[in-house]
């Protein structure tokens, strides 16, 4: 070795139980780390570097571990490799290294077990076990609490070679076959779905980040059966560049008859072993995941047969005797049980809603009826959600059929009443699997004929077909595909042979693991129940959110033609108001609120132009069904909105009008100003009895900064606008081959939008108000950009994005940031700015914001109904007590983790809010920032809180 790769300023003492172990330690520290023998005394052996700055003392002592203890310790540490941080197991020696990359290569050459943080692309720290069982760490800063960017980051070529050398030492013979890292393969199978590419990208990069070797199996199970390097390809970090913004699946998918037979699965088993793969992640529908689980169940018998027929060696049999499998669900039908959403479903729904929005305009122009056929052979989710999002007149889904005469009578009755009320257009949505109660198929043309013959409507049929599968994934699908891919890699590293194969699912807003076999079993039971005409069972097997959405659609759709469901004495006068900046979904919430109120028998009121409009102009109007028809798919705020709170206008006058109109409940749709308004109204209850009514806030702001919820209406619409904007800008940057765009995003003091926009656009970095812009971090990011452009020169898809929240720094504005980067680039790349501005607030609301707005609004009305009795005895009482039951009637409706819940404004405002910053105290998207950085190879300097 030309020069020692370690240096430092400390003396360490380590203990060995035998002389042989001491000699092994001498060999390790001299040959591997480049130290030399300094002196030897009765007390021990002293080793040092050439400047005598670092000294290691090796002492023969009973304090040292025995050989058996050392081997057991190594096995324990290797089991935790790439799963848990070794630094949490025990304290360690930390030595400063002048060249971590060279050190890693040396340790690997000597077959040493190593753990690298954060990853082998950009190492900051390296840990290993010496022959005496001591944990030894190497750090650029020489201190375990110091994170210093490497002096010389690896280029992509170097990174790939390091990954290859690391993966080639997949099993260390000296560690008796204990796995040091897995070889993980990813496959897409079944029908393609938007977001599959994002899932593949996440799996590949998360695997590499964790020190594993990544593979892609081309053409689904067909590629697994055929095998060989043409179909089982090793993937590098850059193999998946550009995948985020591309539709379909770049690694291909194909249905495979051979894999359904044991002989085909035997071939697949052999080909995985030949490629050295011991973990498989499958992204597909229920058929694909059924095959995956069967493959894992048969694996022991398959590998035994291969060994018995001498197709694999005894060593291979022992090495690959277990196959870890994990599933992520890619399906536009959203027909997998136990998960709220499948990858691709919301992208498909987005295509459908856009098509119906376009059709809606021409239908209104000509007073026509349109029958729109959507996909969904066994599941009506797409038809149901599209019906809610577009205010369709009628839907036909396989889960809720009626007799051949029944559906015709019901549809014509509803459509006829809608037309009688003055509606000029009719939209009927038919799932391709729609059936009668006798299992007779209902075609779109049959529906058209009924509308023509019985109602005399000018009717057209539109079959959307495979356009529903096409195009790039929407923001939500990119998010869940990415997060599920990262979780899938973590899962295959953590599961044991006794653990059931996991399915990565989503509950409300939380990524969770569920047993794959159970999910597949329930999913298949739905189709079986439909085949046996047990439709009640089929509905019960759908998730509770499906049932809730169906009940909501039926309630809103009956607003003008059915008798109200509540008796007169329980009907109320409920008002709705918009507060704060416009957000996608505000109109959807107002529409859903009004129609649901009508279906129940309540009188819905709209307070126009916020509290300022109420106090100055008495802007209260009852709502009419025909007036709000079509609002579901309109952006902005039809009833007007502003940021003024009750105390900023005239709270006494507001109380007067509440009393005048005898409001029994209030629904506020808005952001942080709405949150503050609810607090002010709740506090004023003691003085103004008019406010002693149930009040609920539906969070609606692109900033998503309302305490008490992880999701606000408008955030998804904003992310989709930003995603489209970033994709276009990135394409422009890539065309010039050497350009970075610094994009300024809104969000106030919240980094939510910047964080998730970074995740879905593949931005190299995002700067947010919670962290600010530290100069050392900026310097590190610029160095990373310079190297990245140097490696990518001349290659396609090489454009880079940097996202900056407006409030991330007052000094380092977007333009200043771009100027600094350009100046420091030394001509390696050019820098431009892009500011989307209020484009982020506008546009048509996304299907997610439309459907969640409906769910929120209906929950809010139900909250008013259920909470009214609690306040009844205190409406005009002289004293209004400070009681938890009473304060709970003023609440924020939000999604927290996997639950939708109401939480008291008093609890949130007093204990969970940073009022000055207009932010919740706990930031729920911090882990997402880590994932976004990991998947672009960004190192981030973290600092301990002051």
Instruction: Determine the topology of domain 345-468 in CATH.
Output: Rossmann fold (3.40.50)
User: Mean of the pLDDT values across residues 914-920?
Assistant: 95
Q: Quick one: DSSP state of residue 35?
A: -
* Mean pLDDT to the nearest integer, 325-343: 92
Determine the pLDDT at residue 54. 76
Do residues 32 and 24 make contact, with C-beta atoms less than 8 angstroms apart?
Answer: no
Pairing between β-strand 135-139 and β-strand 125-129 as defined by DSSP bridges: antiparallel
Select from 3.30.450.20, 3.30.1300.10, 3.40.50.970, 3.40.50.460 the CATH code of 723-843+929-934: 3.40.50.460
147 Cβ neighbours under 8 A, 6+ residues apart:
124, 125, 141, 939, 941, 942
Q: Average pLDDT, stretch 764-785? A: 93
Whether 9 has a pLDDT exceeding 80, the answer reads: no
Q: Which of 199, 296, 293 lies closest to 251, judged by CA?
A: 199
Structure-block tokens of residue 433: 């699997």
Helix (H) or strand (E) holding 856: helix 847-872
pLDDT value of position 790:
75
φ and ψ at residue 396, rounded to 5 degrees: -125, 115
Tokens of 214: 């990544």
C-alpha–C-alpha distance, residues 278 and 12, integer Å: 39
- pLDDT at 141 (0 to 100): 58
- List the end-to-end C-alpha distance of the chain, in Å, as a whole number: 43
Give yes or no for a contact between 756 and 925, defined as CB atoms under 8 angstroms apart.
Answer: yes
The pairing of strands 830-834 and 620-622 is: unpaired
Q: What is the model's pLDDT at position 52? A: 64
Tens digits of residue pLDDT in 818-856? 999 999 988 888 999 999 988 888 789 999 999 999 999
Q: Please give the structure tokens belonging to residue 599.
A: 């279906």
* Separation of alpha carbons 897 and 920, rounded Å: 15
Residue 18's SS3 state is: coil
Annotate 111-143 with DSSP letters as a single string: T--EEEES-SSS-SEEEEE-TTS-EEEEETTSS
For residue 682, what is the enclosing H or E element? helix 672-683
Give the model's confidence band at 943: pLDDT under 50 very low, under 70 low, under 90 confident, else very high. Answer: low
Cα Dmax for the chain: 108
Write the CB contacts of 461 (distance below 8 Å, at least 6 apart in sequence). 370, 371, 372, 373, 444, 445, 448
Residue bearing tokens 């107002």 = 590
Which range, of 64-68, 186-190, 692-696, averages the lowest pLDDT?
Answer: 64-68
The residues of the chain that CATH labels 3.40.50.460 are: 345-468, 723-843+929-934
pLDDT over 90 (residue 637): yes
> Where is mean pLDDT largest: 180-189, 646-655, 780-789?
646-655
Categorize the per-residue pLDDT at 50 as very low, low, confident or very high, splitting at 50, 70 and 90. Answer: low
pLDDT, tens only, 204-261: 999 998 889 999 999 999 999 999 999 999 998 889 988 999 999 999 998 889 999 9
Whether the per-residue pLDDT at 282 is higher than 50: the answer is yes
Domain boundaries 183-341+473-523, CATH class? alpha beta
Structure tokens at 199: 């899932």
Residue 140 has pLDDT above 50, yes or no: yes
Q: What is the DSSP letter of 50?
A: T
CA 26 to chain centre: 49
What pLDDT sits at residue 5?
A: 46
Find the range with the poorest average confidence among 432-436, 516-520, 668-672, 891-895.
516-520
**What number is the average pLDDT over the span 508-515?**
88
pLDDT band at 152 (very low <50, low <70, confident <90, very high): very low
DSSP type of residue 435 = B
Contacts of 524-533 with C-beta under 8 Å, sequence gap 24+, read: 524/286, 524/290, 525/337, 526/335, 526/337, 526/378, 526/379, 526/399, 527/378, 530/378, 530/398, 530/399, 530/435, 530/439, 531/439, 533/437, 533/438, 533/439
Altogether, the residues listed in the chain come to a count of 946
Residues with a known catalytic role: 333
Flag whether pLDDT at 158 surpasses 70. Answer: no
CA torsion, points 619, 623, 629, 631, in degrees to nearest 10?
40
**Do residues 934 and 205 touch, judged by C-beta distance below 8 A?**
yes
CA distances from 375 to 364, 429, 466, 846 (A): 25, 10, 8, 19
Region(s) of the chain under CATH 3.10.180.10? 6-152
Please report the pLDDT score of residue 868 as a whole number.
Answer: 93
Q: Which residue has the higher pLDDT, 612 or 168?
A: 612
What pLDDT is attached to residue 195? 96
CA dist., res. 296 & res. 23, Å (int): 45
Closest to 376 measured CA to CA, from 391, 351, 397: 397
Q: Which helix (H) or strand (E) holds 362?
A: helix 345-366
- Architecture of the structural domain at 568-713+845-915: 3-Layer(aba) Sandwich (3.40)
- Comparing 48 with 479, the larger pLDDT belongs to 479
Backbone angles phi, psi at 38, to 5 degrees: -95, -50
The structure tokens listed for 323 are 């196959």
So what's the pLDDT on residue 175?
A: 32
pLDDT of residue 905: 97
Where in the chain are all domains bearing CATH 3.40.50.450? Answer: 183-341+473-523, 568-713+845-915
Distance CA 378, CA 217 (A): 28
Which of 27-41, 467-481, 587-601 has the least mean pLDDT? 27-41
Q: Give me the pLDDT at residue 4, please.
A: 40
* Sheet hosting strand 135-139, strand order edge to edge: 6-7, 93-97, 135-139, 125-129, 114-117
State yes or no: pLDDT of 465 exceeds 80: yes
Whose CA is closest to 520, among 647, 734, 320, 331? 331
Question: From CA 837, how far away is CA 844, in angstroms rounded?
Answer: 16
**pLDDT band at residue 151 using 50, 70 and 90 as cut-offs:** very low
CA 825 and chain centroid, separation: 33
77 — pLDDT class (breaks 50, 70, 90): confident
- Given the candidates 1.10.3720.10, 3.40.50.150, 3.10.180.10, 3.20.20.60, the CATH classification of the domain at 6-152 is 3.10.180.10
What would the two tokens of residue 697 be?
């806030």
The pLDDT of residue 370 is 97
Find out whether 188 and 205 touch, Cβ atoms under 8 Å: no
Sign, Cα dihedral of 129, 130, 132, 135: negative
pLDDT tens profile 680-732? 999 999 999 999 999 999 999 999 999 999 999 999 999 999 999 999 999 88
Give me the mean pLDDT over the 778-795 stretch.
81
Distance CA 75, CA 517 (A): 31
Q: Dihedral sign, CA of 14, 18, 23, 27?
A: negative
pLDDT, residue 944, reads 54
**SS3 per-residue string spanning 518-561:** HHHHHHHHHHHHHHCCCHHHHHHHCCHHHHHHHHHHHHHHCCCC
Q: What is the mean pLDDT of residues 376-404?
A: 93
């Amino acid at each position: 070795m030309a020069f020692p790769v370690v240096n430092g300023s400390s003396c360490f003492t380590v203990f060995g139980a035998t002389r042989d172990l001491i000699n092994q330690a001498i060999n390790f520290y001299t040959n591997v780390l480049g130290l030399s023998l300094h002196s030897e005394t009765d007390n021990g052996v002293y080793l040092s570097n050439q400047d005598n700055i670092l000294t290691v003392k090796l002492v023969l002592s009973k304090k040292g571990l025995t050989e058996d203890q050392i081997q057991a310790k190594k096995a324990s540490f290797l089991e935790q490799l790439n799963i848990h941080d070794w630094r949490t197991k025990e304290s360690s020696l930390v030595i400063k290294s002048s060249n971590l990359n060279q050190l890693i290569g040396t340790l690997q050459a000597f077959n040493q077990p190593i753990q690298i943080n954060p990853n082998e692309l950009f190492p900051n720290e390296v840990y290993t076990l010496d022959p005496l069982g001591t944990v030894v760490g190497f750090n650029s800063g020489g201190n375990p609490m110091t994170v210093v960017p490497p002096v010389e980051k690896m280029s992509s070529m170097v990174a790939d070679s390091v990954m290859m050398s690391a993966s080639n030492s997949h099993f260390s013979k000296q560690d008796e076959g204990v796995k040091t890292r897995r070889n993980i393969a990813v496959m897409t199978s079944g029908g393609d779905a938007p977001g599959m590419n994002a899932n593949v990208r996440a799996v590949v990069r998360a695997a590499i980040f964790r020190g594993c070797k990544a593979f892609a199996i081309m053409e689904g199970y067909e590629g697994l059966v055929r095998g060989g390097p043409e179909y089982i390809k090793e993937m590098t970090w850059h193999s998946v560049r550009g995948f985020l913004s591309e539709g379909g699946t770049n690694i291909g998918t194909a249905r495979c008859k051979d894999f359904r037979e044991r002989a085909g699965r035997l071939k697949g088993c052999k080909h995985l072993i030949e490629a050295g793969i011991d973990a498989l992640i499958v992204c597909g529908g229920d058929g694909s995941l059924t095959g995956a689980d069967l493959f894992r169940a048969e694996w022991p018998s398959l590998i035994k047969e291969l060994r018995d027929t001498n197709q694999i060696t005894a060593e291979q049999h022992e090495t690959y005797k277990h196959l870890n499998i994990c599933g992520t669900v890619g399906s536009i039908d959203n027909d997998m049980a136990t998960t709220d959403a499948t990858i691709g479903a919301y992208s498909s729904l987005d295509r459908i809603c856009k098509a119906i929005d376009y059709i809606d305009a021409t239908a209104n122009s000509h007073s026509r009826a349109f029958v729109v056929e959507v996909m969904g052979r066994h599941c009506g989710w797409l038809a149901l959600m599209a019906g809610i999002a577009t205010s369709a007149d009628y839907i036909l889904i396989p889960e809720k059929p009626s007799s051949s005469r029944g559906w015709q009578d019901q549809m014509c009755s509803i459509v006829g009443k809608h037309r009688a009320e003055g509606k000029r257009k009719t939209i009927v949505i038919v799932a391709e699997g729609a059936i009668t109660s006798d299992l007779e198929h209902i075609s779109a043309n049959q529906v058209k004929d009924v509308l023509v013959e019985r109602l005399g409507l000018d009717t057209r049929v539109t079959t959307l077909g495979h356009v529903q599968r096409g195009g790039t994934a929407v923001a939500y699908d990119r998010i869940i595909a990415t997060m599920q891919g990262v979780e899938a890699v973590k899962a295959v590293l953590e599961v044991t042979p006794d653990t059931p194969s996991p399915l990565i699912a989503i509950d409300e807003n939380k990524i969770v693991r569920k047993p794959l076999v159970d999910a597949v079993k329930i999913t298949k039971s739905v189709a079986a129940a439909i085949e046996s005409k047990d439709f009640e069972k089929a509905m019960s097997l759908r998730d509770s959110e499906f049932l809730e959405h169906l009940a909501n659609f039926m309630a809103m759709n009956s607003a003008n033609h059915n008798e109200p469901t509540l008796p007169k004495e329980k009907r109320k006068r409920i008002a709705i108001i918009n507060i704060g900046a416009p957000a996608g979904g505000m109109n959807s919430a107002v529409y859903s609120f009004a129609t649901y109120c009508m279906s129940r028998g309540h009188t819905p009121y709209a307070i126009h132009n916020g509290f300022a409009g109420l106090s100055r102009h008495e802007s209260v109007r009852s709502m009419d069904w025909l007036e709000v028809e079509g609002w579901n798919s309109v952006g902005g705020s039809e009833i007007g909105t502003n940021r003024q709170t009750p105390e900023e206008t005239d709270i006494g006058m507001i109380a007067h009008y509440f009393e005048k109109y005898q409001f029994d409940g209030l629904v506020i749709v808005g952001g942080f100003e709405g949150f503050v308004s609810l607090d002010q109204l709740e506090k004023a209850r003691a003085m103004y009895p008019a406010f002693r009514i149930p009040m609920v806030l539906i969070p609606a702001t692109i900033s998503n900064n309302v305490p008490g919820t992880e999701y606000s209406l408008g955030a998804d619409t904003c992310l989709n606008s930003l995603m489209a904007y970033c994709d276009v800008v990135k394409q422009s940057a890539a065309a010039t081959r050497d350009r970075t765009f610094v994009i300024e995003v809104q969000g106030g003091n919240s980094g939510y939008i910047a964080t998730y926009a970074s995740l879905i656009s593949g931005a190299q970095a995002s700067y947010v108000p919670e962290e600010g812009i530290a100069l050392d971090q900026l310097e590190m990011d610029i160095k990373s950009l310079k190297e990245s452009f140097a490696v990518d020169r001349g290659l396609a898809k090489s454009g880079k994005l940097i996202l900056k929240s407006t409030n991330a720094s007052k000094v380092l504005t977007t333009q200043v940031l771009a100027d600094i980067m350009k100046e420091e680039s030394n001509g390696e790349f050019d820098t431009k700015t892009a500011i989307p501005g209020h484009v982020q607030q506008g546009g048509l609301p996304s299907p997610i914001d439309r459907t969640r707005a409906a769910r929120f609004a209906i929950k809010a009305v139900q909250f008013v109904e259920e909470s009214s009795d609690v306040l009844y005895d205190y409406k005009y009482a002289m004293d209004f007590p400070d009681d938890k039951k009473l304060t709970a009637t003023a609440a924020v409706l939000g999604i927290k983790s996997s639950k939708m819940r109401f939480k008291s404004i008093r609890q949130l405002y007093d204990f969970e809010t940073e009022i000055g910053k207009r932010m919740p105290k706990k930031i729920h998207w911090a882990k997402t920032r880590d994932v976004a950085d990991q998947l672009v190879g960004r190192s981030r300097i973290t600092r301990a809180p002051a």
